[in-house]
Amino acid sequence: MPLQSLDIIRRSATTSPSPEVRGAYTGTVAKLIDTTKCIGCKACQVACMEWNDLRDDVSTNFGSYQNPADLTDRSWTLMRFSEYENPKGDLEWLIRKDGCMHCADPGCLKACPSPGAIVQYANGIVDFQEENCIGCGYCVTACPFDIPRISKRDHKAYKCTLCSDRVAVGMEPACIKSCPTGALVFGTKEDMQEHAAERIEDLKSRGFEKAGLYDPPGVGGTHVMYVLHHADQPGLYAGLVADPRISPLVRLWKGKAKPLSLAIMAFTALAGFFHFVWVGRNEVDERDEDAARADLEGRRKPEMRT
């Protein structure tokens, strides 16, 4: 059937299987962002807003080339600029294209309470289905990368789709299309890992001994990966999380706590029911009424109408 994906491997707040006969038999996809090749031209930002028809508010300069200052509901990707003085005393301008990492183990999907508001396709893309979004922001709470943003206009959560609409028809994401230096490449995850390995070898031969691939295992790997010159210090790149994982608190909240809480509530209700079955009702009988009356009459008569 057209206009239907049939390759949903995970769906938020859903326990029964989703339509998933179509698999990613040629491999899952990945976007590779080579920070060492990025010149910070922001063509990818423009391509993103063009393809997705997004127009963010005009922002104000806060003393950086970074514009806007942060990701928003209408800026799904953002060049983050960091100035790093290396041990040799040289300035390194580290530029990282920020956006959804498309985790293999997505915290947003785990936390989402609305069935089908977040889906994960067989090809690895994690997509928000805004018509099912209720705007609670649990995805914001759960995301280890601080990516989703709730729109002030419609109160739905938005983020990079990895151009799932383009990828579904065999095109590469808009940002990839626009990159003038080849810092952005797209393909199967395997191909991207191989390509990254070549890049890292080259970087190491040129003095970047700690160059490496950012594909964090804590979230099962990601379908957006970085080549970093300083893979040992991801934090240099505008605070990229060194070892991202779904917070244990979120795991508890949207994991074990759910069935356990329901069981405790059901047990409490059943305990009440069976208490009634076993013990019966606690009733006041005539002896109590007589005793109360006798007590009243034994003392000075209170102001009661009889």
Partner 1 sequence: MSELRGRDTLLRYSTEVRTNHWLNAICFVLAALSGLALFHPALFWLSNLFGGGTWTRILHPFLGLFMVLLFLALSARVWDQNGFAASDWQWLRQWRDVVGDREERLPEVGRYNAGQKLVFFVSVGCLLVLFVTGLAMWQSYFTVSDALRRPSSVLHAISALVLICTILVHIYAGFWVRGSMHAMLRGTVTPGWAWKHHRAWFRQITHASHPRAGSD
Chain residues that interact with partner 1, rule: CB under 8 A: 12-15, 113-115, 132, 134-138, 140-141, 146, 150, 155, 247, 249-250, 252-253, 257-258, 261-262, 264-265, 268-269, 272, 275-276, 279-286, 288-293, 295-296, 299-306
Q: For residue 129, with 0-12 CB atoms within 10 Å meaning exposed, 13-18 middle and 19 or more buried, which class applies?
A: middle
Residue where the block lists tokens 């590469």: 172
Q: Left (φ > 0), alpha (ψ -120 to 50) or beta: where does 185 sit?
A: beta
Q: Min. distance of Cβ 228 from partner 1 in angstroms?
A: 23
d(CA 107, CA 156): 17
Minimum CB separation of residue 285 from partner 1 in Å reads 8
Residue with Cβ nearer partner 1 (146 or 190): 146
Least Å distance, CB 252 to partner 1, is 6
Residue 197 vs 270, nearer CB to partner 1: 270
CB of 77 to partner 1, least distance (A): 21
Triad 94, 95, 101: Cα angle to 5°: 120
Q: Residue 6 or 265: which CB sits closer to partner 1?
A: 265
**Dihedrals φ, ψ of 263, to 5°?**
-65, -45
Name which of 11 and 229 has its Cβ closer to partner 1. Answer: 11
Distance CA 222, CA 240 (A): 14
CB of 208 to partner 1, least distance (A): 32
